[in-house]
Amino acid sequence: MKLAKIALIVTMLATLAVAEERTPSHYVRVTGTSEVKVVPDRAVVEIGVEKRDPNASAAKHAEDASARRILAALRARHIDDKDIQTTYLSLQQQSSYVNKKRVYFFVASQTLSVTVRDISQLDTLLEAMVQAGGNQINSIVYETSELRKYRDQARDLAVKAAREKAQALARALGQDVGRAQIIEEVPELASFAGIQANAYVEEGRTRGAGPSLAPGQTSITASVTVSFELN
């Protein structure tokens, strides 16, 4: 038993020695980043309904009626049920002062998240949802349906950028880089491409004319850290 333990320890020490020999004593460690610009082809809209009434049941019924009309308007325009999701539902008592007197009332709210896969319909769908009873537009986030494709492209460009940076640093010292020894992808921070808004719509229409929506471009980024042998 003791001989087996000794043999195991010797094997582990030999493995560590080989690993140390393979690890270069001189290396350069760099971070490469890249950004790919993409024209979005879909959007996610969060639209809400808010109703107020002194009676809790009346406030909830009014909110439910508007939500049903919004759902019907979306289905009439061929938006699949899988692309519609209730993300927020609330019924709360609130108060305000009217003529220096505190008045209590109930606020019923619901928020729907709608994925619009044909971005050319976005303006029409927003108008239809507002006419159906939506009186809050919380956000519009622009996306691409080929996120994996462009993320892989951004990652490849980040690796190339890391090698170019390492080569430039090595040349400045009269040296060159060899094989990559360690490569790590830097985790992305939670982000989105698009606009966040908080617009309150009164009586089925937005305040003022407002500009037309412009999807612009979505940025997809990648970042990697690489350690290269320094020759």
Q: What is the pLDDT of residues 17-67, one digit of tens each?
A: 444 545 456 889 999 999 999 999 999 999 999 999 999 999 999 999 999
- Percentage of the chain surpassing pLDDT 90? 71
Q: Give me the pLDDT at residue 37, please.
A: 94
pLDDT tens per residue, range 154-163: 999 999 999 9
- Structural domains of the chain sorted by starting position, each given as residue range(s) with its CATH number in brackets: 24-41+144-191+214-231 (3.30.110.170), 42-143 (3.30.70.2970)
Q: What is the mean pLDDT of the chain?
A: 84
> If pLDDT is split at 50, 70 and 90, which confidence band does 73 have?
very high
Higher-confidence residue: 8 or 134?
A: 134
Q: Give me the pLDDT at residue 214, please.
A: 85
Residue type (1 letter), 58 = A
